[in-house]
Amino acid sequence: HGTSHKYIAHRMAEILNKDLSELNIINCHLGNGSSLACIKNGKVYDTSMGVTPLEGLVMGTRSGDIDPTVVTFLCENENITPHEANQWLNKKSGVLGVSKLSSDFRDLEEARDKGNEKAGLALDMFTNRVKKYIGAYMAQMPELDAIVMTGGIGENSDTMRREILHGLEHLGIELDDKKNDGTRGKEVDIAKDGAKIKIYICPTNEELMIARDTKEIISK
């Protein structure tokens, strides 16, 4: 995800016609694996993943942030090893564990629309966690140029974008539903006209970033 956050930072500096060192954005890389990055003055100041990708957002199969004593609780009460607990938290948790249905957000949206309460709960937990991180990262910014949505969900799910961003209007984040609805995989600002903070969909390109970094290393 670091490669994705780096690409988005460079691309958004171009789109917004700003020097990278002056860029302040929150990048939301949302997919089966998800992370947010607080990019302040062109550099990642904070990011939701930790030593491993398990920290941070509720994901497809990863738990995201939990009380650390959950691990010892599982080991003692379920009679499993630390390795097994790690597997549970990485492979059997997240929206899959909550919904008991799927780690694919498209399946969960469809199931929720048909009245599946557990699918709805899983999606609510995901969107709420993203909201919390956006708020926390805004508190660390001198100012915010844009919220950026990328990754499989961020680029393609107008539903998830809407549910994440609605309710944040008091922070200057105002989504234009007409611009958002049906928009997939395009570089476009979907904020309301005149909104204080821009909201961009920006498809990531990790392969290009890897190629650029490789070229830079070889050239030295």
Over residues 7-36, the pLDDT tens digits come to 999 999 999 999 999 999 999 999 999 999
Q: What is the pLDDT of residue 220?
A: 87
Q: What is the pLDDT of residue 90?
A: 97
Tokens encoding 56: 């941070």
Over residues 56-99, the pLDDT tens digits come to 999 999 999 999 999 999 999 999 999 999 999 999 999 999 99
Q: How many domains does the chain have?
A: 1
Tokens encoding 54: 């398990």
Give the N- to C-terminal CA distance of the chain in Å, as an integer. Answer: 25
Section 34-56 average pLDDT: 96
Buried b (16+ CB within 10 A) or exposed e, 111-122: bbeeebeebbeb
All residues at 6 or more sequence positions from 47 whose CB lies less than 8 Å from its CB, including other chains: 1, 2, 5, 35, 36, 37, 38, 56
The domain that contains 158 carries what CATH number? 3.30.420.40
Tokens encoding 21: 């060192």
Over residues 188-217, the pLDDT tens digits come to 999 999 999 999 999 999 999 999 999 999
Domain that holds residue 91: 2-219
Q: Are 141 and 24 in contact (CB under 8 A)?
A: yes
Q: Mind giving me the DSSP string for 147-215?
A: EEEEHHHHHH-HHHHHHHHTT-GGGT--B-HHHHTT--S--EE-BPTT-SSEEEE----HHHHHHHHHH
What is the chain's mean pLDDT, rounded?
96
All residues at 6 or more sequence positions from 51 whose CB lies less than 8 Å from its CB, including other chains: none
Spatial separation of the C-alpha atoms in residues 216 and 220, rounded to whole Å: 7
